[in-house]
């Protein structure tokens, strides 16, 4: 990795941490310059605009998510064990990588009704994620570990909803039982899917 690439990665790591705490709209070149002890002009040379900073930070988040959640999930055996690995990795995503919470959840709220490049990039990312979830579940169906009439897209939707509920209960409400309740709900989902 060149020095320029290493600097850019370091900047995007910090931008990701900032976005996890204040959202993508709260992310600015000026704020990032202060946090990275770089000049605004130096950062501007890397990103050219706030929107490009936001888009590249989102892309960086996707790359990190792939490394932390998706790749390890794909190393697990196909079927229910892979679904369990995905669930555990997904639970750990926020705790292991972002002090401020999941940037995808934050961005979903920020851009759900805001047309533009960030909205479009986020929609593509989330559709890809839901397709991945459905594919993992569909594989468990084809392996005979989940019932043949199970709708993988419905399972993916329910699991996504469960994870948003976990974030809401744990982060916003400070429910000390959020993780335990989420694990119980996941087990119920699997049981009803066999």
pLDDT digits (tens, 9 = 90+) for 60-72: 999 999 999 999 9
Spatial separation of the C-alpha atoms in residues 147 and 61, rounded to whole Å: 34
Residue 97: which pLDDT band, with cuts at 50, 70 and 90?
low
Mean pLDDT of the 103-115 span: 91
Residue whose pair of structure tokens reads 């986020």 in the numeric block: 122
Half-sphere exposure of 114 (CA within 13 A, CB side): 12
In the numeric block, the tokens 């290493």 are attached to 6
Q: Which of 76, 80, 30, 69 is nearest to 53 (CA)?
A: 30
Cα(23)–Cα(15) distance, integer angstroms: 10
Domains belonging to the chain, first-starting first, are 58-193 (1.10.357.10)
pLDDT higher than threshold 90 for residue 1 = no
Closest CA to 61 of 105, 29, 31: 105
User: pTM for the complete prediction?
Assistant: 0.89
């Amino acid at each position: 990795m060149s020095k320029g690439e290493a600097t850019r990665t370091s900047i995007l790591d910090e931008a990701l941490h900032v976005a996890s705490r204040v959202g993508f709209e709260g992310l600015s070149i000026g704020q990032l310059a202060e946090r990275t002890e770089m000049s605004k002009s130096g950062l501007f040379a890397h990103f050219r605009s706030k929107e490009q900073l936001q888009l590249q930070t989102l892309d960086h988040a996707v790359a990190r998510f792939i490394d932390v959640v998706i790749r390890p999930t794909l190393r697990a055996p196909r079927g229910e064990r892979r679904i369990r690995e995905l669930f555990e990795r997904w639970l750990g995503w926020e705790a292991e990588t972002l002090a401020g919470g999941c940037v995808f959840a934050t961005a979903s709220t920020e851009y759900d009704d805001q047309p533009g490049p960030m909205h479009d990039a986020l929609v593509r990312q989330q559709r890809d994620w839901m397709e991945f979830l459905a594919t993992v579940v569909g594989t468990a169906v084809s392996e005979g570990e989940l019932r043949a009439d199970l709708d993988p897209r419905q399972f993916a939707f329910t699991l996504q909803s469960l994870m948003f509920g976990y974030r809401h209960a744990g982060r916003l409400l400070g429910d000390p039982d959020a993780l335990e309740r989420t694990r119980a709900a996941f087990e119920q989902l699997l049981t009803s899917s066999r």
